[in-house]
Amino acid sequence: MTALFASDHGVNVAQNVGFYIIAAAMLWGAFRVVTTRNVVHAALWLVVVLGGIAAQYILAAAEFVAISQVLVYIGAVMVLFLFGIMLTRATIGEETDVNNQGWAIGIPVGLLMFGVLAYVTLDFTEDATLPEPTDEQITGATMAISDAYLGDYLVPLIAVSFVLLAAAIGAIVLARKD
């Protein structure tokens, strides 16, 4: 049964299918970020893209980086973006006067850049193989990072959390209407 889900190179086919499904969702989210006319909707589509990145990290057995991605980028940065949108009093609804005059040159340049990136990626990674990490290496890396954060760097971690809390309280005070 497991022979059905393993390829010649020992890579799990189900993992590849998951990668492509997540990558397709990320591409759709990125497309919607740049095509939607509502700035809040664009920020929410960016959450889909950033969540896909975290899912890709999980597939790569980098759970700590995935959790950091969710906490820092989806949690903090997206809240910062939404605060910025609300504080600048940007139009929340659809933009009707968006200047889209550069699309005629933007599409060919984007396709050219994609082609160059695809060529370089496929050309240089043709014969590249990475050794599979052992369970001990994976667990050891996460444990070493958590020991460093909660051991030697506990005081700076708490200090940064208080600075972020003060920034959030300040943003709420500035955003509230008198």
Burial of 154 (0-12, 13-18, 19+ CB in 10 A): exposed
pLDDT band at 125 (very low <50, low <70, confident <90, very high): low
- Is the pLDDT at 145 greater than 90? The verdict is no
Mean model confidence pLDDT for the chain: 79
Question: In this predicted model, what pLDDT tens digit does every residue of 58-116 receive, in sequence order?
Answer: 988 888 888 888 888 888 888 888 777 777 765 655 665 556 677 788 889 989 999 99
Q: Residue 152 and residue 114: Cα distance in Å, rounded?
A: 43
Q: Between residues 88 and 5, which one has the greater pLDDT?
A: 88
Statement: residue 130 has pLDDT above 70: no
Q: What is the pTM of this model?
A: 0.59
Q: What is the rounded distance in angstroms from the CA atom of residue 44 to the CA atom of residue 146?
A: 30
Tell me the backbone φ, ψ of residue 101, rounded to 5 degrees. Answer: -75, -20
Least confident range of 22-31, 70-79, 140-149, 157-166: 140-149
Torsion (CA) 105, 84, 37, 54 in degrees, nearest 10? 80
Work out the pLDDT band at 4, boundaries 50, 70, 90: very low
Quick check: 157 and 72 in contact, CB under 8 A?
Answer: no
Mean pLDDT value of segment 113-133:
79
Burial (0-12, 13-18, 19+ Cβ within 10 Å), 169: exposed
CA distance 55 to 67: 10
pLDDT (0 to 100) of residue 166: 86
